[in-house]
Structure 1
Amino acid sequence: MKFLVSFLLLTSFIYSAGAQLYSPSEFLGYEAGEDFTPHHRVTDYVRHVAETASNVILVEYGHTYEGRVLQYLILSSADNLANLENIRTANLQLTGLLEGTPTEDIPALVWLSYNVHGNESVSTEAALEVIHTLASGTDPDVSAWLENTVVIIDPCLNPDGRDRYVHFYHRTRGRHPNVVEEAREHAEPWPGGRTNHYYFDLNRDWAWGTQMETRQRLQHYNRWMPHVHVDFHEQSVNSPYYFAPAAVPYHKYITPWQRELQDLMGANHARYFDQEGWLFFTSQVFDLFYPGYGDTWPMFNGAIGMTYEQAGSGRAGLGIITAEGDTLTLADRIEHHYTTSLSTIEVAANERDRIIDQFTQYFHNSAAEPTGAHAAYLVRRAGQEDQVHTISNHLDLLGITYGFAVAAGKENGFAYHTRGREELQVERGDLVVPVAQPKGVLTRVLFEPEPELEDSLTYDITAWALPYVYGVEAYALDREVTWETIAPVPAASAHPSEPVAYIAEWKSFEDARLLADLLQRGVKVRYAEVPFEINQQSYDEGTLIMTRGGAGAAFDSLVIQSARRTKQQVDAVTSTRVTEGVDFGSGDVVFIRAPRVAIVAGTSISAYGLGELWHFFDEQLEYSATLVDSDDFADLPLRRYDVIILPSGSYSDILDERRLEEVRDWIREGGRLIALERAAAFLADKDGFGLKSKPDDADGADSLDTEIQPYADRDRHEITQDIPGAIFRTELDTTHPLAFGYPRDYFTLKVNPRAFSWLEDGWNVGVLKENSLVAGFAGTQALEPLEQSLILGMESIGRGEVIYFADNPIFRGFYYHGRLLLANAVFLAGQRSVATF
């Protein structure tokens, strides 16, 4: 046995002689394809292999939110494993991420990732078969491949989602599988097993690391930096197998060699598939543009990244009849993924020399000969300290080098907020991200103002520049400025021994985390609706104020503990007399009642939208919220809650006419309803609500033009009416509590063309005007209705409010820029008229 004791001690092995290596069927008690294997049994088998085989190392690299083990196996020849730490070190030296020059040739590093989508459940079953084949040493061809490769296999990236599916299937199948498609074993209940615990799609999270599974995996990926990475998936039961090469659009930074090796891989796979008479397709549907996937993210880290898609997914079960009348079995699905797995290793072994040469050249070019119009990216630090800290943590996770400007000076570059060239004043301490670095390609991909899209028919969002994601003042510089790795340390503020109040600015989401912590500690907090000055310090709207009166003896310790826990600054004052603005007892200083929050969940709600809210309150804001199943919402005592959030979803059954009137009564009494995306669309045009859908301005000529579109152009015509994911400039009313903490411009990420008219009787807090598209693709016919449309609004109904979000402010959990908007809706907006239920 060889078992990893410490990642840095990969050469410390424990040997077990004479033990028998069992195949998966021998160990588990059923043949491949006869059943789905729960994760704890997957773990058992993987440990058995590690304890028995002489050419395997097991790494347990973390746990999921539900406590399941995350692990990968390293398989290679005995000589390679004996030299494994040297191989890993040499490879990092090739990238420039580790100093030094390799002194020996290394094998190709192949990383195979299975089951990132939990209900695409064949992947883990196939992984077990691949692991046994590589570990058994019985096939001389495979043994020869392992001389030239080190293979890393993660058998299940999403154990929580996969077990959700496996347990569902085990509960619903009979003694024998039913292959008829309408059998209940082919109809997963909401939310399905695709996602992780918080209903996040982990295959969109590679570039962002919002989920703990992703963060733990990226740490190990960056320690290895593989040369080939494959992401195994499933698709519709009626779709033939898909493998590389990928579809256009290809991102412009994907190299000719990366394209060529995809072709070589595809040709080898095709050879095996043709021998068996298996159908497949290539170069369609699955493109290489959005950087958050398990194929694109490795591509932008120098590897050859590929997605393989097998027919099946959650509907297939152990067998299902396809549209052609054939029966697709789990055994079939295993065999196909097994074949492409071994074919990938074969090509990597045969092309080892070229793979290593091109990998080395990739990183040399990235660090020494970077391409592109910009030499560095700069984020202003002053006034954005929290955002800069959060961006720095993100860059650390991705392995991107950055620093802080050493000295002030004049530079020229592109300003993200104005989308024009400017001369700017660099200040000491500004965040600097150089392009000339080992991960320079990934840096450019994430920072470039607008990615070049060679084809508008793409699979995902088309804009993601980090300055817009984080909502920061930032510039793409013409030349690199001198930087250092240590950030300037701000002077610590001295607190008087007995302050009468504490003050905290409201400029970032981290300030909202401070407020959430204070409220849950029972500290009384107010916010200022107008600017003020005290102790020669100016404070903006939204500033938090905590006064000693009636707070008790623990007041100071509670405030200081909260500030330390959230790492936020609070300023102590010995007098509440202001020199400008309003005093703390003014009606413009509003008491914040800790809101009791409910979120509607259930079968007609978007699992993604709900999961993002659940994760927002649980992991990001750390404030208590109650998830209420939609089936129980009809009986929910509304007066128990101050704020009810409707995630995007279908509400015709949840909010029938009677229940909707009861919700309106609750609002009139002082409740606050927050409706996002399709929930807002449901309320639009309803009696008693002021939100109106914006009419489509298409005329008869447009309709006629639609009717005579060629059939072959149908997809391209449809995209002219859609917005798959683009960033728009939103003008905010910064005097309204919903927009406190923001500059005038907010950059919203739109993923649909839905448009609402401005409120006639309410507050149009965030609106789109003319020429508001900033980055990404938006169909020409979708743009016109968006002009003069509402993005964020609030209307009063009686003593309460309804807040409308046209777009998702916390999209996929990574859109930091919108988090404070949602916090404002929860904590600040409507506090003047809040009821005491």
Structure 2
Amino acid sequence: MKKLLLVCFVMFALTLTSQNTPDLSYYLPQNVAYNKNIPTPESVVGHQVGEWHITHDKLVQYMYALADASDRITIENRGKTFEARPLLLLTISSPKNLANIETIRTKHIEATNSDTSVDNSKNPIVVYQGYSIHGNEPSGSNAALLVAYYLAAAEGNEIDNLLDNTVILFDPSYNPDGLQRFAYWVNTNKSINLNPDPNDREYSEVWPGGRTNHYWFDMNRDWLPVQLPESRVRIKTFHKWLPNILTDHHEMGTYSTFFFQPGIPSRTHPLTPKLNQELTAKIGNYHAKALDKIGSLYFTEESYDDFYYGKGSTFPDINGSIGILFEQASSRGHIQESDNGILTFPFTIRNQFTTSLSTLEAAVEMREDILTYQQNFYKNARSESAKDKGKAIVFGDEKDAAKTFHLAEILNRHNIRIHEIDNDFKANGKTFKRGYSFIVPKNQKNSRLINAMFEKRTSFRDSLFYDISAWTFPLAFNLDYANNVATSNLGNEVKDLKLKDGAVTSKSNYAYLMEWHEYYSPKFLNEVLSKGTRVKVALKQFSINGIDYDYGTILIPVQNQKLKADELHSFLQKVAKESHVTVNSVSTGLTQGIDLGSRNFKTLEKPEIALIVGSGISSYDAGEIWHLLDTRYDVTVTKLDTKSIRRANLDRYNTIIIPNLSRLGDAETKKLKEWTKNGGTIIGYRNTVKWLEKQEFIKAKFEKIDIPAKTITFEDVSSFKGAQRIGGAIFETKIDRSHPINFGYKNDRLPMFRNTTIFMKADSLSYNNPIQYAKSPLLSGYISKPNLDVLSGSVPLKIQKSGNGKVVAFTDNTNFRAFWYGTNKLLMNAIFFRDEL
């Protein structure tokens, strides 16, 4: 027995040693010669692949070294992340192809515009290979070192054939900021004697982790909204080239094996052609063969899906390409115990490297079929959209040009043709105003993508979703829109999309007025308050000089200000221009309605905001709020870590925002409660609502749902429970526009995003329900009937006094993924008008 244990220990030690110092022979095909003039990863970064986690700076260093040494590679820096890291793209092909690369690209795009058959016998296929969009799923970017080396250094007929027939767009790190953050963590916690114990600190990175980018966004949800700098350069490359295949290399739980697409067939979006999934499955056969060869376990068609087009593996499917997701069991460091034995970091890298090559093998051998598929995709799309010739989609907001602009901006990034409207007109009972509206002809190349972005879908083949089930863009932006207006309303095509400047109409010696409708009104107000300017808000409507001013109009008196009249005018002119708002001057306080000296104008105080972050808080929700305040409204916010609450002086703040909360200590809770009762305002989201009720900050009643599973088998329990989740859908609410939480909304209906099953009962007093779900609230997405029945008439918001303070509690996220522009103002109203709620 002792001998057996000794043998096992020696084998285990040898395993650790061999994996601690892997060399290229562990990864690379050994029946291939390699050009000695091409630098190996170790020669540049100073360690073997898999020995340490590659940092982004070293990854960049190696990619430039390869480009300098190889005539098969060109490299470009397409931009930078929030932390100023380069967003690289390597173009890899034969030297002959690279010498004619623009001709190849142009011919490739022209083939997608042709209605006649194209001879693809000599046309190269375009493959976009991208890695580690989640920074703490690092095996992809570490494998990128090997893939790039192989493509640069391998010699022989096989690699020559591959490069002659393929253009590879190579993105070694989708998420540089996250990759750097995670590499720092695991490298600084690595021991000489590798320890596979999952309890070791190495495998438990600190909040917020390396998954996300600088502002803690999951960038694999941003392919369609395109709100982040990393996404913008990636989508620009995609539409410039229209790759035939796009790969997205991820990691999953340590106890898994390896996954490649297709996913669960019933969870594919109906707009994705059936042939897309068939080709994906054929490509999967190449992955299976390659993984069989090295003895790696895998699965396919059992998990994940192809529904939400905002993911990297699904976005290509609505754009004539084939998106492929890879998921590798994660070592989450350098080595870790798992159900499948000791999982080493080099092993995870080898699987990603292996399937990178099998993708290219499939691309070459299926080249003509895949090229023809893409060309037919667009040919069929043109045939479909020709039936809509003369029809268009119009969207806009007659009082908010900026919000309208930002949806147009997304469409523009996706090469969707947009026009100004020729003249003001009405449709569906809404007014579409020139300069505040855009119109999208349906008969154009990307018509299927347009359908995917604008459709409202409420029926589904499956009730389970890996991600959200609805993302209807005009609803997310809370814009008026009409689906089948005549193209006779088309004005000039928008070639150079610009957000219009704001202005002050003229100088006043009395007062200035600004309606609260424009998206960037909070940016204007924040800067004005930060200057020490006295500002008031109107609680009622009024008219002056022929203009009707709505609830929430901002009043800036000229007298008794720190700035003199001329200085105030110059200052407001500058801020209005930068904030894209119109400020009107008035020369009298006499109006139709409340006069400007009325008590119904309330003085506003500059917000001093703390955002609770850290352990127990959802980093996604916190990051979205931080990003909104910091990048759009220029509002300074203190990120207050949960572990710092006890010793922090909370009197510095008048507003504390608590994103989705899972836990908070008793001492921290007590301190926040005292601060609130002394006059502070707490704004809470999602599970924070339940915490606020439990800790007696508010009194709220919740509806509980207990759906009996009387005929469900053990096998189907997971699916049954999953069907009761609200993964992400859009619902209609009715709003009281006179309530300060709703200032700036011109309609009495507001679409809201929901992905929780927190059902809060309405108050018996109607004026305490400023936002309430409609009787039939579902606008787009999936919800089970029992959940829908309970949601009807419930409320997504509770506002309540707590001592001298206020609590504003939202059941759901009003700032979802940075593209829910339509409900951003709810948070800003809670911040700026907190004393009037």
TM-score (norm 2): 0.90
**In structure 2, C-alpha distance between the alignment counterparts of 1:663 and 1:530, rounded to whole Å:** 33
1:582 to 583, 590, 594: 594
Distance 1:174 1:380, change over 3 A: closer
Alignment of 1:537-556 (within 5 A): 537-551=547-561, 552-553=563-564, 554-556=567-569
1:440/1:505 CA distance change after superposition, 3 Å: same
76-85 or 278-287, which deviates more: 278-287
Task: Give 1:293 shift.
Answer: 0.4
Is 1:26 aligned with 2:43? yes
The residue number in structure 2 matching 1:754 is: 758
Indicate the residue corresponding to 2:603 in structure 1. 591
Q: Is residue 638 of structure 1 aligned with residue 650 of structure 2?
A: yes
Higher mean C-alpha deviation, range 496-505 or range 596-605: 496-505
Q: Which amino acid aligns with 1:30?
A: H
Deviates more, 1:580-589 or 1:510-519: 510-519
- The one-letter code matched in structure 2 to 1:675 is G
Please give the secondary structure, in 1, of the residue aligned with 2:709.
helix
Q: Which residue of 1 aligns with 2:699?
A: 690
Partner of residue 281, structure 1: 299
Query: CA 1:265–1:662 in 2, change beyond 3 Å: closer, same or farther?
Result: same
1:456 aligns with 2:463: yes
2:796 is equivalent to residue 778 of structure 1: no
Deviation string for 1:70-117 (max 9, x for gaps)?
A: 1011110111101001112222333449xxx99996311100010100
1:372 & 1:599 partners in 2: Cα distance?
51
- Deviation, structure 1 residue 757: 2.0
Amino acid at match of 2:578: R
Q: How many Å apart are 1:333 and its aligned residue?
A: 1.2
Shift of 1:627: 0.7
Hey, what's the Cα distance between the residues in 1 that align with 2:51 and 2:737?
61
User: Aligned pair in 2 of structure 1 residues 214, 357: CA closer, same or farther (>3 Å)?
Assistant: same
Name the CA shift for 1:497/1:387 in 2 (closer, same or farther; >3 Å): closer
RMSD: 2.6
Structure 2 residue 583 is the aligned partner of structure 1 residue 573: no
Q: Find the partner of 1:706 among 686, 689, 709.
A: 709
340, 347, 350: which one aligns with 1:332: 347
- Is the Cα–Cα contact under 8 Å of residues 393 and 483 in structure 2 kept in the other structure? yes
Q: Whole-Å Cα distance in 2 between the matches of residues 819 and 408 of structure 1? A: 27
2:323 paired with 1:305: yes
Equivalent in the alignment of 1:600: 612
Q: Which moved more, 1:242-251 or 1:190-199?
A: 242-251
Structure-2 change in CA distance of 1:362 and 1:484 (3 Å): farther
Shift of the 309–497 alpha-carbon distance from structure 1 to 2, 3 Å rule, reads closer
Q: Which residue of 2 aligns with 1:218?
A: 235
1:118 positional shift: 0.2
Aligned to 1:799: 804
Task: Give 1:373 shift.
Answer: 8.3
Secondary structure of the residue aligned to 2:796 is strand
Amino acid at match of 2:639: L
Give the match for residue 354 of structure 1: 369
Q: Which residue of 2 aligns with 1:117?
A: 134
Q: Deviations over 1:283-338 (max 9, x none)?
A: 122211101100111221211111111111xx5312112124x1111221111111
**What's the secondary structure of 1:281's corresponding residue?**
coil
Contact 2:618–2:659 (CA<8 Å) still a contact in 1? yes
- 1:813 CA drift (Å): 1.5
The alpha-carbon deviation at position 734 of structure 1 amounts to: 1.2
Q: Does structure 1 residue 667 correspond to structure 2 residue 676?
A: yes
Query: How far did 1:814 drift?
Result: 1.4
Deviation of the 1:409 alpha carbon: 6.6
CA distance in structure 2 between the partners assigned to 1:684 and 1:209 by the alignment:
36
- Give the counterpart letter for 1:261 in structure 2: L
Distance in 2 separating the partners of 1:141 and 1:255: 32
2: CA distance, partners of 1:426 / 1:799 = 44
- After TM superposition, the structure 1 stretch with the greater mean CA deviation from structure 2, 428-437 or 797-806, is 428-437
Judge conservation of contact 2:507–2:569 (CA < 8 Å) in 1.
no
- Does residue 571 of structure 2 align to residue 563 of structure 1? no
* Counterpart for residue 3 of structure 2: none
SS of the residue aligned with 2:445?
coil
CA contact (8 A) 2:712 2:720 kept: yes
Separation in 1, partners of 2:626, 2:41: 37
- Work out whether residues 373 and 478 of structure 1, in 8 Å CA contact, stay in contact via their aligned partners in 2: no
User: Given the superposition, is the C-alpha separation of residues 707 and 796 from structure 1 closer, same or farther in structure 2, using an over 3 Å criterion?
Assistant: same
Closer, same or farther: CA 451–376 of 1 in aligned 2, 3 Å: farther
1:170 aligns with 2:187: yes
CA contact (8 A) 1:227 1:302 kept: yes
- What is the percentage of aligned positions where both structures have the same residue? 29
Aligned-partner Cα distance in 1 for 2:646–2:106: 60
Aligned CA distance change for structure 1 residues 316 and 388 (closer, same or farther; 3 Å): closer
Matched, 1:49 2:66: yes
The residue type paired with residue 520 of structure 1 is: S
Query: 1:85 aligns to what?
Result: 102
Per-residue deviation, residues 609-657 of structure 1 (Å, max 9, x unmatched): 111111111112210111111111122222211111111112341xx2x
Report how far residue 797 of structure 1 moved. 2.6
Query: Partner amino acid for 2:491?
Result: E
The alpha-carbon distance between structure 1 residues 492 and 56, as it changes in their structure 2 partners (threshold 3 A), is closer
Aligned to 1:767: 772
Aligned to 1:414: none
Does the CA-based 8 Å contact 1:238-1:311 persist in structure 2?
yes
Are the structure 2 counterparts of residues 409 and 601 from structure 1 closer, same or farther at C-alpha, using a change threshold of 3 Å? closer
- In structure 2, what is the Cα distance between the partners aligned to 1:373 and 1:280? 44
The letter of the residue matching 1:447 is F
Q: Provide the residue aligned with 1:621 in structure 2.
A: 633
User: In the alignment, which residue of structure 2 is the partner of 1:195?
Assistant: 212
Q: How does 1:388-407 map to 2 (within 5 A)?
A: 388-407=404-423
Name the CA distance, whole Å, in 2 between partners of 1:159 and 1:721: 36
Does the 8 Å CA contact 1:720/1:782 hold for their aligned counterparts? no
* 8 Å CA contact 2:459, 2:782 repeated in 1: no
Whichever residue aligns with residue 320 of structure 1, its letter is Q
Counterpart secondary structure, 2:96: helix
Partner amino acid for 1:629? D
1:721 — aligned with what? Answer: 724
State the 1:808 CA deviation: 0.5
- Tell whether 2:667 aligns with 1:647: no
Q: Is the 8 A contact 1:690 1:759 kept in 2?
A: no
Please show how residues 510-521 of structure 1 align to structure 2 within 5 Å: 510-521=520-531
Distance 1:645 1:494 in 2: 33
1:234 to 2:268 alignment: no
- Residues 36, 153 of structure 2: 8 Å contact kept: no
**In 1, distance between residues paired with 2:502 and 2:741?**
31
Shift of 1:485: 3.1
With over 3 angstroms needed to count, the CA separation of the structure-2 counterparts of 1:350 and 1:502, relative to structure 1, is same
Shift of 1:760: 5.8
Match of 2:451 among 431, 444, 454: 444
In the alignment, the residues of structure 2 paired with residue 431 and residue 509 of structure 1 have an alpha-carbon distance, to the nearest angstrom, of 17
Q: 1:444 to 1:105 in 2, by over 3 A?
A: farther
Q: Which amino acid aligns with 2:255?
A: N
Partner of 1:10: none
Separation in structure 1 between the aligned mates of residue 62 and residue 705 of structure 2, nearest angstrom: 61
Q: Are the counterparts in 1 of residues 135 and 211 from structure 2 also a CA contact under 8 Å?
A: yes
Alignment equivalent of 2:442, drawn from 435, 438, 448: 435
**CA shift at 1:381, angstroms?**
4.7
Structure 2 distance, partners of 1:222, 1:725, is 27
For 2:281, the equivalent position in structure 1 comes to 263
Classify 1:688/1:648 alpha carbon distance in 2 versus 1 (closer, same or farther; 3 Å): closer
Cα distance in structure 1, aligned partners of 2:250 and 2:328: 6
1:75 aligns with 2:92: yes
Question: Is the 1:528–1:589 contact (alpha carbons within 8 Å) kept by the matching residues of 2?
Answer: yes
Structure 2: distance between partners of 1:534 and 1:427 = 22
Evaluate the alpha carbon distance shift between residue 200 and residue 139 of structure 1 in structure 2; reply closer, same or farther with a 3 A threshold: farther
> What residue is the counterpart of 1:13 in the other structure?
none
Counterpart among 723, 738, 741 of residue 738 in structure 1: 741
TM-score w.r.t. the length of structure 1 is 0.90
Give per-residue Cα distances to partners, 1:417-467, cap 9 Å, x unaligned.
xxxxx5877766642112221111111100012265321111011011011
